[in-house]
Amino acid sequence: MSDNTEIKVEGLTHRYDAREGPLLALKDIAFSVPRGRFVGLVGPSGCGKSSLLMMLAGLVVPSEGRITVAGQPVTAPAPDRIGVVFQESSLLPWRTALENVVFPLKLRGLPKAEREGRAAALLDLVGLRGFESRYPHELSGGMKQRVAIARGFCQDPPVLLMDEPFAALDEQTRMTLGDELLRIWDAHRKTVVFVTHGLTEAVYLCDEVIVLSGRPGQILERIEIDLPRPRTWEVMASEAFGQLRERIWSLIRVQQ
Ligand SMILES: Nc1ncnc2c1ncn2[C@@H]1O[C@H](COP(=O)(O)OP(=O)(O)OP(=O)(O)O)[C@@H](O)[C@H]1O
Ligand SMILES: [Mg+2]
């Protein structure tokens, strides 16, 4: 393994025991991600993107195959190494926004002042200053999702797995948070795996996009997004940007 490899997936196949019998969700998945790379994962609904992310996070054990992160096998969740922000934000309803963000840091034994300072700064970053003491039921769907994003960032793990983190948000917030994510990624050189249905979002954010087939999910193609950064309006309006987006769409369209 080269020193630069952060995530390595080999021979991964997964079957669920569904009520109707075994369901083959993912088949022969293999890829590796160098440290600091921003990788997108796209594919039709139900092709196994969330399943793959849960396996990378150590939350689901694959039926076959092997996953390592920084050379260590992934066998159980390790939030200090691998952070996750899921599709449906799962906040603790009896804790305030600030407490939800602080919670993982508390588990890690960080001093109170430090963890609350860090959590408040991140809530500010996602546009929730003034909402620190609200409970989840007092927040909108988009605000809850932003608390979950702050919680993912707060743990400051070297690997960040994100499952459609911006899907429930309006376009403006999505773009603002996308830029924030890029800023954090750039400043801390995190390795990111980002699931999205947004093809423009994928091309805008990623260094590479992995396109999965319909179920059972298999890698159809890995597309290098060799566009300059920052991805300005000019870059977004360029022919190259449009062609990359089209290429991804042409692969997914026939899989729907
Ligand atoms: N716990 C489970 N038990 C049985 N089947 C499951 C389970 N979780 C997921 N599946 C099935 O595995 C397949 C892949 O699901 P998954 O949620 O990974 O897809 P996805 O690509 O994330 O879809 P979406 O884009 O809609 O979020 C689906 O057919 C789903 O029904
Ligand atoms: Mg999903």
Q: What confidence tens digit (pLDDT) does each residue in 127-136 have? A: 899 999 999 9
Ligand lying nearest the CA atom of residue 216:
1
State the average pLDDT for the chain: 92
Q: Which residue has the tokens 């393994």?
A: 1
Contact call for residues 39 and 206 (beta carbons, < 8 A): yes
Instruction: Read off the pLDDT of residues 39-71 as tens digits, 9 standing for 90 and up.
Output: 999 999 999 999 999 999 999 999 999 999 999
Residues in contact with 70: Cβ distance below 8 Å, sequence separation at least 6, in sequence order: 6, 81, 158, 159
**For residue 174, what pLDDT band results from cuts at 50, 70 and 90?**
confident
For ligand 1, atom 7: residue with the closest CA: 16
For ligand 1, atom 23: residue with the closest CA: 46
DSSP H helix total and E strand total for the chain: 8, 10
For ligand 1, atom 28: residue with the closest CA: 46
- Ligand 2 centre and the CA of 249: distance in Å? 18
Using DSSP bridges, classify how beta strands 38-42 and 191-195 pair: parallel, antiparallel or unpaired. Answer: parallel
- Ligand 2 centre and the CA of 133: distance in Å? 30
Q: Which residue has the tokens 């403006």?
A: 172
Instruction: Read off the pLDDT of residues 180-233 as tens digits, 9 standing for 90 and up.
Output: 889 888 888 899 999 999 999 999 999 999 999 999 999 999 999 999 999 999
The model's pTM: 0.92
Atom of ligand 1 nearest to the CA of 48: 18
For ligand 1, atom 8: residue with the closest CA: 51
Using DSSP bridges, classify how beta strands 72-73 and 5-18 pair: parallel, antiparallel or unpaired. Answer: unpaired
Compute the average pLDDT of residues 89-105. 90
The ligand 1 site (C-beta within 6 Å) comprises 16, 18, 23, 25, 45-51, 215
Q: What is the pLDDT of residue 183?
A: 85
In order of start, what are the domains of the chain with their CATH numbers? 1-81+160-256 (3.40.50.300), 88-156 (no CATH)
